[in-house]
Structure 1
Amino acid sequence: MDNKAPSAPLTPSRDLQRLLDIMAALRTPGTGCPWDLEQDFASIAPYTVEEAYEVADAIQRGDMADLNDELGDLLLQVVFHARMAEEQGLFDFGDVVRAITEKLIRRHPHVFGEARNLPPTEVKKLWAEIKSAEKAERAKRHPPQERVSVLEGIPAAMPALTRAVKLQEKAGRVGFDWNDIRTVLAKVREEADEIEAALDSAASEAEISAEIGDLLFAVANVARHAHADPEAVLRGANAKFERRFHFIEERLAERGTGPANSTLEAMDALWNEAKRRGL
C-alpha cells in the first residue's frame, strides 16, 4: 500500500480521491497535522459515534444543508479509520468499498441475481438466510472458545436503548421472547412496582438504579414489539419536551418573570396549555 502523501497543492473537489489525498497529507509525519498524527482507532471512535448522531439530528430537524455537512463529517470518519489501517498494512479505503459493495450484491440477489420478483415477505426471509450464512462464515474465522453466546457481536459502545433491542432480538430468535406486546407491557408495570418497593424499603441508590435499568430495558422491549425505534421515539419525546418548555418560558417572559420565579402549579398549567395547542 502507498503511504506517501501527494506533493501537489490540494484544493476542494467533488472527487473522492481528493479527500483521500487530503487525509494522507494530514497524516504525513513531519508535514501533516500534529493532532491528526497523534490519533488512533480508539481516540477517533467517539468522534465517529458523535458524527453519526449529528447526521440523525440534521435529519430529524429537516435541515438538508446541515445534513450535507454532517454526512461529509461522517465520511471523513470512514476515511480517517481507513487511512490509519492503510498505514498499518491492514486494509485501505478501496478494501472498505469493495467489502460493502460485495455485501450489498450478496444480500440483494432479488435485485442483482437470479432471485427476481420476490414479494416483501420472501425478501425478508432471504435476507435473514444470507445474514445467517455470513455469521456462520465469520464464526469459522474465530476459535471455538470465542463463540460462547448467541448474544455476541453487539458492540458494547452502541447506545444503550438500541443495544437493548439488539439483545432482545437475538434472544428472541432462539425462543426467549413474548409473543404478546401486552405481556411485555405488564412487565413494564412489574418493573415500575419494583422501583416503588425499593423506595419503600429504603434500598440503596445502587439497588434503585438497578431497578430503573430493568424498567428501561422493559420499555425498550415494548418499543421493539411495537416496531418502534426506542432511540427515535425518545428523541421525539425530547423534542416535544423542549417545545413545551420553551412555550412555558415564553409565556412567563410575557408576564415579566421566568421558571425560577414561578410555582410548579403555574408552570404545569402552561404545560397543559401547550399540550392543548398540540405543541
Structure 2
Amino acid sequence: MAGQQRVYRQRIKSTQSLKKIFRAMELIAASRIGKARSRMTAASPYARAITRAVSAVATHADVDHPLTTERPENNRVAVLLVTSDRGMAGAYSASVLREGEKLIAEQLERGKEVVLYVTGRRAVSFYTFRHRELAGRWTGASDSPTAETAQEIANTLLDAFLADTDEGGCGELHVVYTHFVNMVTQTPRVVRMLPLEVVEGVMEPGEEPLPLYEFEPSPEVVLDALLPRYIQSRIYSCLLHAAASELAARQRAMHTATENAEDLIRMYTRLANQARQSEITQEISEIVSGADALAAS
C-alpha cells in the first residue's frame, strides 16, 4: 500500500508540473492572439484594395501577361504549405499537412510534378522524415510573421514561376494555409495564386463595380508593377491568418490540456487517499488481531 501511495504522489507531482506548463502556454497564446488579430485586420484593407486594382486592370486590359497566362506546356506545380514552428496546437499543423497531401495527390493524378515550399518546422520535419525534397523552407516566426519574410517568400515563388520550363520553372502556384474565421473556427484552405484567374460574372449585392483605369504608360507596365505586390500582399495575408489561427488553436488546446491535467490530479488524489485508507485499515486489523492473540494466550 505504501508503494502505491508513493506512485500516486509522484504522478500527482509530475501532472502538476505539466499543468503549470500548459497554463503558461495558454496565457502566452492568449496574450499574443490580440496582436495577431489586429495585424491581420490592419492588413486586410490593403489586400482588398490591391486585389480590386489587379482585377480591374487584368479585366479591362487585353494583354497577355506571364502572371495571368496559362502555361499548359509546363508540367511543374509549386505548392507552399504554411504550418507552425512549434507543436502544442492541437490538429493545426496536421490539418494543413492533410490538405497539402490531398492537393499533391490530385496534382500527381493529373500527371504534374510537385515542387514543395514550406514554412514552419512542423512541415520541415514531416517531409524530411519522409525523405521528400524541399525547394524552399522558412522557419522561426510562424506566430509572428514579418513583411520581410513574406517578401522573401513571394520573390522566391515569383522567380520559380517566371523561370523557363527548361530551367525548372513552375506553371502553377498553390498555397495551403489556415484561414482565421473566429476564435473557435479556423479552416484549412487551398488557394491557386498563379496564374491569376480573372473571372467576369455578376457582382455580389453591395459590391462596388470595378473602376475604369487609363493606363500610363501601358497596361503591361502597370501589371508588371502591381502583380508582384499583389502576390506579396496575398502571401503576407495568408501568413497573418495562419499566425492568428495557430495562436487560437494553441490557446484552445492548452486550455483543454490544463483541464485534463486537473482531472488527472483529482483522480490520482482520490486513488492515493484510498490507498492510504486501505493501509490504515490493514494496520488496525493487524493490531486488533495481535491483541486478540495475546488475550487468548
Greater strand share, 1 or 2? 2
Query: Which has the larger helix fraction?
Result: 1
Q: TM tier, shorter chain?
A: under 0.3
Q: Over alpha carbons, which structure has the higher Rg?
A: 2
**TM-score of the two chains, using structure 2 as the length reference:** 0.23
